[in-house]
Amino acid sequence: MLQIKLKGITFADQGEIVKLEAAAGETFDEVVAEAVEKGYWGLENLSAIPGTVGATPIQNVGAYGVEIADLIERVTVFNPITGELESLTPAQCQFSYRNSIFKHSAGRHYIVVSVTLCLHKKATPKLAYADVAAYGFDAATVTPLQVRLAITEIRSKKFPDWHRVGTAGSFFKNPIITKDKYGELKKEYPELPFFEVNETHVKIPLAWVLDTVCKLKGFKMGSVGLYEHQPLALVNFGNGNEKEITALAEYVSRKVKEKINVDIEWEVQRIV
């Protein structure tokens, strides 16, 4: 297995925009912290997400109303087929919900070397997400640091500390279903939340389904389980292995299928 250890962060001032280029081996949250410390807007809602910079475009990581694709100007990759570096635009990365070209055969061979992001000097707070809105920030006066601290606090209550507990954060994607299917589920589960996707589809929060419908919050299977405060997070309690994680994930998928007849997808990638 190859682990990218490339380091380096640069900021290039371009008027109202600041270009941040970070090497793939940098810890993502440390990059977020540095950008916030400088007062730049864009990354604050992505605070406290585990992993490295190089993983962010692969996953198109997102949280609290922001996806990394919203900020990316280019992804520099090494192409082992040609032996050359290439610069991919967001369009070439084919970003979608927790997805990109890097997860598919057309781009799985690429090795991410660095990511260049466009940050803003002017305030561009994203405060609409319910958990963030609850803080009552004034969009005219709030700072990136205030938003970061709020996001960090929110996540600390929902997710385990990845510095101490084995976890990849959210393991599953929130399902996107048709509005007709949502209408069916709403009859049985009147309080089922949803988020508008387009004219025909909505996204439903899988954590709500796992907790309220499947009663799986805190469920354990051997040395692995679903986190007690956020069932989207699969946790290794110390001695678990890949087979146990896979067995648990498949069990959860079966339960969701049985209860609401919806197939769920992994956010994480399995390397075999």
Which residues participate in catalysis according to the annotation?
98, 170, 267
Q: Do 46 and 61 contact (CB within 8 A), yes or no?
A: yes
Kind plus residue range of the DSSP H or E element containing 230: none
Q: Do 177 and 196 contact (CB within 8 A), yes or no?
A: no
Beta bridge partners of 225: 220, 235
Q: Do 35 and 20 contact (CB within 8 A), yes or no?
A: yes
Return the amino acid letter for 235.
Answer: V
Q: Do 48 and 151 contact (CB within 8 A), yes or no?
A: yes
Query: What's the token pair of residue 117?
Result: 């992001």
For tokens 């570096």, the residue is 85
Q: Do 86 and 8 contact (CB within 8 A), yes or no?
A: no
Q: Which of 201, 206, 150 is nearest to 180 (CA)?
A: 201
CA 1 – CA 139 distance, rounded (Å): 45
